[in-house]
C-alpha cells in the first residue's frame, strides 16, 4: 500500500475518525476511563471559568461561611468545646439565620452535648452530620457513623458531607449529586444517602427531601457552576477568615460572632441566611483547588452547590453522543478544507474553527451547558497536521512530476502555476474545446538540400526557438516538432477562454519574428521567405500518449486534422495564415482578417469558410488599409457572379498589393469566369492535396 498516494487522505480520514471516536469513548472497547482526552478536558473545564471572567456569577448573598479560623483555634483549641458551638448557634438564632449546617463531626459524646442539642432544637433549622461509607466488599454492609443521639434527635435533618461532591483523582471537584442512591442509607433509605446541600435546601425552602430530589435528575451528575470570588482576579489564599478572604461567599469569623465584633453589615447578612459552620484554620480543614484559587475549604463547595440549586443554574454536560459526533466530524474537516484550499488558507480556516469551538463552548457555558471542545479540537489539529505533512511530502513529488511532464510544452510561468495548483494539471485524458496550430516553413525541402547537416540543425533550432517563444509567451502549449513543422494548441493544460484569439495573435507574431530573424542572419544561413500556418478551433482530445518511458502531451481528433489541412491549403490560395470559421468567431474582436472562401479539404465533406488574419485589430499597415476595401468588394462581386466587376476590382487591388497570393488567385479566376462562366460550380474550392 502506498501510504503517500493520492488516496491516503481519504483513508486516513476514515481510519482516524474511528480511532478518535474509540479514544474518546474507551468503554466501547472495555477500557475503564474517560479516554485519552480526559486530563486536557479537565484543564479546559477549569480554565473556562477564568476565561468567562466577569460573566461568572458571584456568590448568593444569602450564603455564608462561619469560619473556625486561626484566631478561634488559638483561643479555644481544636476541636472547639461544644459550649462555643452552642453560643455561636444561639447568636445565629438571635440574628435571624434561617438554616445552619454544622460541617463538624459530633460523633463522640462530649461535655456540652445537651446544651448544643437544646440550642439546635430551639433554632429548629439545624443540620448535623453522619457518615456512610461503603463496606470492604460489595456485599458488605456500609459503615455508618452517626451524630450523638441528643443532636441526632434535635436536628431538622441529618446529612452526609462526603456524598454531594465528587473528588477527581487530580483533587478537583467538578460534579455533584444531591443523593447517593447506590448506598443503603439508614436515615433516608428510599432516597439514598442525603448530602449537606440537599438537607440545607429542604430546610431553607421548607420542603421535604423528596421534593429536593426532584430538583435535579438523580441519574445524572450535575456540573458545578462555580461562583466567582467578589474580588477576583486578586489571588489570596485562605488564612485568617474575614470578609476579605478570597471567596465567592461572605466569610465571618466565629470569633467575631462570639466576641460581639460583628459589623452592622454582617449582622444584617445573617438574617434569613444559610450558614455553614466549618474550619478554615491552617491544617484543620479539607481544601480543594477551584478555577479561581489554589485551595478552598470543603464548606465552600457545599455552599456553591446550594447556590446552583437555588438559582437553577447548575451546568449540564453536553451529551457524549453529540461530542462523539463532533469528534468524528473534526477528523474529516481538514480533509475537505485541504482539498479545496492551499495550506496557508487551510491553516487559517482550521484555526478559525478551533477558535469558534472554544468561543462556542464558552457561549454554551453561559447557557448552562458544559461543552468540552478538547476532543474535537485535538482531533481536528492532529488530522490537519497529518494531512498537511502528507500534502507537503506528496506535493513536492507531484510538482516535480508536473514540471517534468509540462516543462517542454508550456512556458515556465504556466509550469509554475500548474505546480502550485496540481488540480489544474488534470493529467488524465480530456475532451474540450481547444485551438490547434500548425506552422510549416515554405519551401523547406529546397532550403535544406543546399545546407550541411550541422548548418541545417543550427538553422532549424534558430527559427523553431523563435516560433516557440512566441507561442509560449501567448500561453500556448507546444505539442511537437515534426521536422520544420511546429504543432501547438491552446486551452490545455490551463484553461484559457481566449484560446482562439491567442493562437491567431501568435501566428501574426511569428510573421514578425521571421522578419526580425531574416534581418540578422548568421553568415551561411539562408532566409526563410515565408511560413504557412493553419489554425482551427473545435472539440479535441488532449492527454498523454506513449509509453511509461516516453510520454507526449498531445491533441488528437478530427478538428486537429482540419488545422493541419488548413496549413496546407495556404498553398492553393497563396496565403500565409488560414483560420477556420470557429477560430474567426473567437478572434474577430482582436484581429483584422479577410475572407478567403469556402474549401473542402481532403477527408472532409462539409465545406469550411476560411479567413486570413492580416494584423492585430486597428494595426493594419497603410497599404492594407487602402487595399482591403477593394479586395472585399472584389470578393463580393465574384461570389455574386459579377465576374467583369470582380476582374476590374482585383486588377485595381493587385496594383495596390502586387504579389498578393489570394488577390492573384481571384484575379485569374475572375478573368477565366468572365470569359466562360462555370455552369455548375457550388462556389466551394475542392482541395485534393494535404
DSSP secondary structure letters along 448-486? HHTS-HHHHHHHHHHHHHHHHHHHHHTT-EEEEEETTEE
Greater confidence (639 vs 688) lies with: 639
- Please count the residues of the chain: 690
- Rounded to whole angstroms, the Cα distance separating 163 from 75 reads 32
- Rounded to whole angstroms, the Cα distance separating 194 from 308 reads 17
Cis peptide before 79 (omega within 30 of 0): yes
Judged by DSSP in three states, 65 sits in strand
| Kind and range of the H or E run holding 444 | helix 444-449
pLDDT in tens, 369-386: 999 888 888 888 888 888
The rounded Cα 634 to chain-centroid distance in angstroms is 65
Query: Can you list the alpha helix ranges (DSSP code H) found in 640-660?
Result: 643-656
Give the contacts of 531 (CB within 8 A, at least 6 positions apart).
Answer: 439, 440, 441, 442, 510, 511, 514, 576
pLDDT in tens, 58-109: 899 999 999 998 888 889 888 899 999 999 999 999 999 999 999 999 999 9
- Rounded to whole angstroms, the Cα distance separating 351 from 361 reads 15
- Averaged pLDDT score across all residues of the chain: 85
pLDDT in tens, 525-538: 677 778 999 999 99
Q: Indicate whether 440 pLDDT > 70.
A: yes
Q: Where are the beta strands (DSSP E) in 491-530?
A: none
Where, residue-wise, is CATH 3.30.70.1230 in the chain?
A: 421-620
DSSP class of 125: -
Confidence of residue 573 (pLDDT cuts 50, 70, 90): very high
pLDDT of residue 544: 74
CA distances from 208 to 76, 123, 191, 200, 203 (A): 37, 18, 11, 11, 8
DSSP class of 221: P
pLDDT in tens, 258-272: 999 999 999 999 999
The rounded Cα 607 to chain-centroid distance in angstroms is 55
Q: Kindly give the pairing relationship between strand 608-616 and strand 179-180.
A: unpaired
Domain 421-620 adopts which CATH fold? Answer: Alpha-Beta Plaits (3.30.70)
Cell numbers for 153? 434527635
Q: Indicate whether 682 pLDDT > 50.
A: yes
Greater confidence (337 vs 646) lies with: 646
- Rounded to whole angstroms, the Cα distance separating 191 from 225 reads 24
pLDDT of residue 3: 41
Which whole number is the average pLDDT over 172-193? 81
CA distances from 107 to 499, 512, 537, 565 (A): 96, 111, 101, 112
Judged by DSSP in three states, 250 sits in strand
- With CA atoms as reference, report the closest residue to 357 among 373, 341, 371: 373
Describe the crossing of helices 374-406 and 8-24 by its angle, rounded to 10 degrees.
170
CA atoms within 13 A on the CB side of 102: 30
CA distances from 35 to 25, 132, 486 (A): 6, 30, 66
- Rounded to whole angstroms, the Cα distance separating 350 from 344 reads 10
Q: Indicate whether 34 pLDDT > 60.
A: no
Judged by DSSP in three states, 213 sits in helix
DSSP per residue, 569-601? HHHHHT-SEEEEHHHHHHHTTTEEEEEEEEEE-
As a whole-number percent, the residues of the chain with pLDDT over 90 amount to 48
Amino acid at each position: 500500500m502506498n501510504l503517500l498516494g493520492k488516496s491516503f487522505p481519504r483513508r486516513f480520514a476514515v481510519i482516524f475518525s474511528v480511532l478518535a471516536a474509540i479514544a474518546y469513548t474507551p468503554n466501547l472497547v472495555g477500557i475503564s476511563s474517560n479516554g485519552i482526552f480526559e486530563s486536557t478536558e479537565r484543564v479546559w473545564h477549569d480554565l473556562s471559568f477564568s476565561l468567562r471572567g466577569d460573566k461568572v456569577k458571584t456568590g448568593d448573598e444569602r450564603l455564608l461561611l462561619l469560619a473556625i479560623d486561626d484566631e478561634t483555634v488559638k483561643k479555644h483549641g481544636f476541636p472547639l468545646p461544644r459550649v462555643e458551638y452552642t453560643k455561636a448557634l444561639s447568636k445565629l438564632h438571635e440574628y435571624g439565620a434561617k438554616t445552619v449546617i454544622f460541617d463538624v463531626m459530633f460523633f463522640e459524646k462530649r461535655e456540652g452535648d445537651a446544651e448544643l442539642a437544646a440550642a439546635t432544637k430551639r433554632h429548629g433549622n439545624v443540620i448535623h452530620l453522619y457518615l456512610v461509607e461503603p463496606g470492604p466488599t460489595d456485599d458488605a454492609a456500609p459503615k455508618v457513623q452517626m451524630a450523638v443521639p441528643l443532636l441526632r434527635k434535635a436536628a431538622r435533618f441529618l446529612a452526609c458531607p462526603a456524598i454531594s461532591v465528587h473528588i477527581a483523582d487530580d483533587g478537583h471537584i467538578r460534579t455533584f449529586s444531591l443523593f447517593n442512591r447506590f448506598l443503603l442509607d439508614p436515615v433516608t433509605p428510599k432516597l439514598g444517602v442525603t448530602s449537606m446541600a440537599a438537607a440545607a435546601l429542604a430546610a431553607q425552602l421548607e420542603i421535604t427531601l423528596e421534593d429536593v430530589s426532584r430538583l435535579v435528575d438523580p441519574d445524572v451528575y450535575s456540573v458545578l457552576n462555580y461562583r466567582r470570588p467578589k474580588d477576583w482576579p486578586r489571588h489570596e489564599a485562605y488564612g485568617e477568615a474575614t470578609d476579605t478572604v478570597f471567596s465567592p461567599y461572605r466569610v465571618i469569623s466565629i470569633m467575631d460572632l462570639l466576641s460581639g465584633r460583628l459589623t452592622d453589615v454582617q449582622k444584617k447578612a445573617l438574617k434569613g441566611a444559610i450558614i455553614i459552620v466549618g474550619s478554615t484554620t491552617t491544617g484543620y480543614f479539607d481544601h480543594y483547588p477551584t478555577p479561581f484559587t489554589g485551595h478552598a475549604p470543603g464548606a465552600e463547595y457545599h455552599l456553591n452547590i446550594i447556590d446552583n440549586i437555588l438559582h437553577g443554574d447548575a451546568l449540564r454536560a453536553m451529551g457524549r453522543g453529540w461530542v462523539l459526533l463532533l469528534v468524528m466530524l473534526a477528523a474529516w474537516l481538514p480533509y475537505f478544507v485541504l482539498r479545496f484550499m492551499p495550506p496557508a488558507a487551510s491553516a487559517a480556516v482550521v484555526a478559525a474553527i478551533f477558535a469558534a469551538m472554544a468561543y462556542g463552548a464558552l457561549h454554551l457555558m453561559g447557557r448552562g451547558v458544559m461543552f468540552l471542545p478538547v476532543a474535537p479540537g485535538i482531533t481536528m489539529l492532529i488530522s490537519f497536521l497529518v494531512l498537511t505533512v502528507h500534502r507537503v511530502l506528496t506535493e513536492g513529488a507531484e510538482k516535480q512530476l508536473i514540471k517534468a511532464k509540462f516543462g517542454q510544452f508550456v512556458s515556465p510561468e504556466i509550469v509554475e502555476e500548474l505546480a502550485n495548483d496540481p488540480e489544474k494539471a488534470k493529467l488524465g485524458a480530456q475532451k474540450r474545446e481547444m485551438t490547434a496550430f500548425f506552422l510549416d516553413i515554405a519551401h523547406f525541402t529546397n532550403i535544406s538540400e543546399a545546407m550541411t547537416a550541422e548548418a541545417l540543425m543550427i538553422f532549424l533550432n534558430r527559427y523553431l526557438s523563435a516560433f516557440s517563444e512566441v507561442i509560449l509567451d501567448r500561453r500556448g502549449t507546444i505539442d511537437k516538432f515534426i521536422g520544420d513543422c511546429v504543432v501547438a494548441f491552446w486551452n490545455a493544460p490551463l484553461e484559457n477562454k481566449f484560446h482562439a484569439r491567442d493562437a491567431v495573435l501568435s501566428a501574426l507574431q511569428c510573421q514578425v519574428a521571421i522578419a526580425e530573424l531574416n534581418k540578422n542572419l548568421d553568415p551561411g544561413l539562408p532566409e526563410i521567405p515565408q511560413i504557412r500556418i493553419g489554425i482551427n478551433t473545435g472539440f479535441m482530445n488532449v492527454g498523454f500518449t506513449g509509453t511509461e518511458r516516453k510520454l507526449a502531451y498531445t491533441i488528437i481528433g478530427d478538428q486537429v486534422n482540419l488545422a493541419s489541412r488548413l496549413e496546407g491549403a495556404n498553398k492553393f490560395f497563396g496565403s500565409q495564415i488560414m483560420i477556420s470559421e470557429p477560430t474567426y468567431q473567437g478572434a474577430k474582436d482582436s484581429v483584422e482578417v479577410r475572407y478567403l472562401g469556402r474549401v473542402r479539404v481532403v477527408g472532409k465533406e462539409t465545406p469550411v469558410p476560411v479567413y486570413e488574419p492580416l494584423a492585430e485589430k486597428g494595426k493594419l499597415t497603410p497599404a492594407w488599409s487602402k487595399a482591403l476595401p477593394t479586395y472585399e468588394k472584389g470578393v463580393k462581386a465574384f461570389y455574386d457572379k459579377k465576374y467583369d466587376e470582380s476582374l476590374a476590382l482585383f486588377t485595381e487591388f493587385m496594383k495596390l498589393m502586387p504579389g498578393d497570393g489570394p488577390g492573384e488567385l481571384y484575379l485569374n479566376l475572375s478573368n477565366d469566369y468572365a470569359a466562360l462562366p462555370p455552369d455548375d460550380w457550388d462556389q466551394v474550392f475542392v482541395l485534393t492535396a494535404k
